[in-house]
Structure 1
């Protein structure tokens, strides 16, 4: 119970009230007792003086009736006749009058004799067998001579009764006041604690994520100011969290749409940021990477070493890394976060694979073109020199040399034409007139053209295409696709092999054409690159190709609304497929 602020306030407030009331009550009890006793003694003394004066005036030495009559008048005026005991003594101590008993023995005889002789007064307390009495004694003076004494007394139990009554009244009043004070303290504590409890519950709700919650104050005091301050703080927190959420969402969107991979690692080596691109480049799930150690996510030693060096040196570092597991070339930059990398390291990963492949392809292309051009140029030069040296006079030799020169020139012309056409297609300058065309007729004419180009060593070609299939495209471009695919298949298929051309029409208004061969096939690692320009699967072969044919096929098919694919089993053959819209 005392863990509650309300009850702690009430308890200590009540303890303070009762402690204060206890101290005040003890003081009041003593004060009331002393004051009342003093008042009683003063009354007794005054009554004794009045009676002694009345006795002297009414003839103390006259008859008893006259004396009693005068004293009764005094008592009536004082209104104490029924409370006090009055006794009158003569000069030798004999009782002349006693208001509570017949004339006889009185405990004050000795006091009367003593103070008649001195002529003085006295007040005090006397113990009797039946209790105590408070009294005051005064001498009776007549003509300057003390002739008797008056003793006015009252039982102490009557005085104590009055005192007890007063004390009881004070106690009851204190209890009432204490009860009201306790009630008031509980009420005040409850009102105060209600605001504190409201603030506590409000803080708990905000901690739980309810940033829209606000606290209402039930009283207009300091807790109201505290509630206002709390609400302002809640508004600030909500605004800050909202801004942070917006910035986080913006940053997350930026990170997820970046072309570069971004990885953030804290000082302990745990991953705090891992965007989608980084996951794709390193073949890692971004969700699983968060919270893990970098060494558990990335197995590449060079990247881990780069991050470690950046953390230790606090300097920006850069490195190009080849990751064999994912077959990628990566440019990795390690940036320290904070002074001396006190908040960790930021890794940015850029994919150089395409650039490296392009550079490699270009180098290979230059090498291939140089080789392809060098051979016919060297041949032409040799034959031209031979003719110049006199062979031109030999008609038969001259005609053979001229024929060879023309074939070499034709070969170089085809290569240049392929390069120019591929350049036009890739740049979008090639205009293609798409209209309905007959697929069977185009395929059949393409087979005839290839057979005419390759006089001997040609494998068998089977055409499984129905004559009624119509597709959308340009006849010359579709024919070029067929010619390139058939030439490519015949180049890698033995003479006793087989090339099959088929076409299927699907319900989604697409025609799929396939050119299959029983040749040497393509290794799996080359399948993803066969349609790249300048790419050759077997670079040791002298097949006369430039590595542009399949790239031209891909771009021509895509320009006519289709797609191109390849399936191959090394040692068994390959199947090239392309699609075209149905007319």
Structure 2
């Protein structure tokens, strides 16, 4: 098989990556079907177009120019696709017969995942700072003599408990996120009584809600018989944790004397659990 035949075979293979062959003038000689779809054209329509006209990407064009100018492999990234919403790793490989083979690998999901993790770390850092600052201030005030007043001491102790509850919840959420990302979470699906799950959530959030003077109420489906009859296919531990996270946020942002409701209802599509 000649080098040209080998290159044609590579371009014809199916895969997620896009391949483009360009000449020394940065005009497209050939391309894979994935590359054509990325440019919203057919392979035939791509042939003869300049790289910049086909994909409209200055970084990709500059990468190809550098590889041809230095006759060396060059790597980089470029935003491509409609509205440049997809991010690609790009590698430009000079060919012995002249021109380049451009290899494009879609890293959009990986980049979005990395950005999501950065956002989560930033948000968690902000969330941690507030209760830690409150605990520090309360502890310093107690150390300065407020503990001599029994009523103020009790009030400060309640506030410290409240902030520690918040910290514990944040740690639990981080551990859950870590397990989900590592793939260690294995769902154990079984027939679950929604009412029983909600009672567990109410029991667990109850002490935290009481310290914030917020009441927690369970709302059923409206039919008492459903409590022992209707079942949902779910992992009870994970469902309970998800609802507990929602309930914790609801309590956290409720006004003093407010009410948080945890409920469920049954529809033709299935069972819906909610927090309000």
Q: TM-score, normalised by structure 2?
A: 0.70
Kindly state the Cα deviation for residue 308 of structure 1 after the two structures are TM-superposed. Answer: 3.7
Give CA deviations for 1:277-316 in whole Å, capped at 9, x if unaligned: x456x46356465525134421223323332443345343
Kindly state the Cα deviation for residue 502 of structure 1 after the two structures are TM-superposed. Answer: 4.7
Preserved CA contact (<8 Å) 2:205 2:244: no
Kindly state the Cα deviation for residue 321 of structure 1 after the two structures are TM-superposed. Answer: 2.8
Map of 1:419 onto structure 2: 174
Instruction: Number of aligned residue pairs: give it.
Output: 262
Residue 326, structure 1, aligned to residue 87, structure 2: no
| Cα distance in structure 2, aligned partners of 1:383 and 1:312 | 65
Are residues 286 and 402 of structure 1, via their aligned partners in 2, closer, same or farther at CA, if it must alter by over 3 Å? Answer: farther
Kindly state the Cα deviation for residue 361 of structure 1 after the two structures are TM-superposed. Answer: 3.1
Q: Report matched runs for 1:117-516 at 5 Å.
A: 251=10, 255-257=13-15, 259-267=16-24, 269-276=27-34, 278=35, 282=38, 284-285=40-41, 287=43, 290-293=46-49, 294-323=51-80, 325-338=83-96, 343-430=98-185, 432-439=187-194, 441-442=195-196, 444-445=198-199, 448=202, 452=206, 453=209, 463=221, 467=226, 468-484=229-245, 502-505=265-268, 511=270, 513=272
Are residues 514 and 328 of structure 1, via their aligned partners in 2, closer, same or farther at CA, if it must alter by over 3 Å? Answer: farther
Kindly state the Cα deviation for residue 267 of structure 1 after the two structures are TM-superposed. Answer: 4.6
Map of 1:128 onto structure 2: none
Preserved CA contact (<8 Å) 1:263 1:275: no
Kindly state the Cα deviation for residue 394 of structure 1 after the two structures are TM-superposed. Answer: 1.0
Higher-RCO chain (CA-CA 8 Å, sequence separation at least 6): 2
Kindly state the Cα deviation for residue 429 of structure 1 after the two structures are TM-superposed. Answer: 3.9
Kindly state the Cα deviation for residue 406 of structure 1 after the two structures are TM-superposed. Answer: 1.4
Are residues 374 and 424 of structure 1, via their aligned partners in 2, closer, same or farther at CA, if it must alter by over 3 Å? Answer: same
Kindly state the Cα deviation for residue 252 of structure 1 after the two structures are TM-superposed. Answer: 5.1
SS of residue in 2 equivalent to 1:256: coil
Are residues 262 and 252 of structure 1, via their aligned partners in 2, closer, same or farther at CA, if it must alter by over 3 Å? Answer: closer
| Cα distance in structure 2, aligned partners of 1:463 and 1:365 | 35
Q: TM-score, normalised by structure 1?
A: 0.37
Are residues 289 and 445 of structure 1, via their aligned partners in 2, closer, same or farther at CA, if it must alter by over 3 Å? Answer: farther
SS of residue in 1 equivalent to 2:40: coil
Preserved CA contact (<8 Å) 2:63 2:74: yes
| Cα distance in structure 1, aligned partners of 2:46 and 2:143 | 77
Stretches of structure 1 that go unaligned for 5 or more consecutive residues are 1-239, 518-583
Preserved CA contact (<8 Å) 1:450 1:487: no
| Cα distance in structure 2, aligned partners of 1:436 and 1:287 | 53
Kindly state the Cα deviation for residue 372 of structure 1 after the two structures are TM-superposed. Answer: 2.2
Preserved CA contact (<8 Å) 2:73 2:93: yes
| Cα distance in structure 2, aligned partners of 1:298 and 1:457 | 58
User: What is the root-mean-square deviation in Å for CA atoms of aligned residues?
Assistant: 4.4
Are residues 384 and 436 of structure 1, via their aligned partners in 2, closer, same or farther at CA, if it must alter by over 3 Å? Answer: same
SS of residue in 2 equivalent to 1:318: strand
| Cα distance in structure 2, aligned partners of 1:379 and 1:493 | 19
Preserved CA contact (<8 Å) 1:271 1:289: no
Are residues 290 and 322 of structure 1, via their aligned partners in 2, closer, same or farther at CA, if it must alter by over 3 Å? Answer: closer
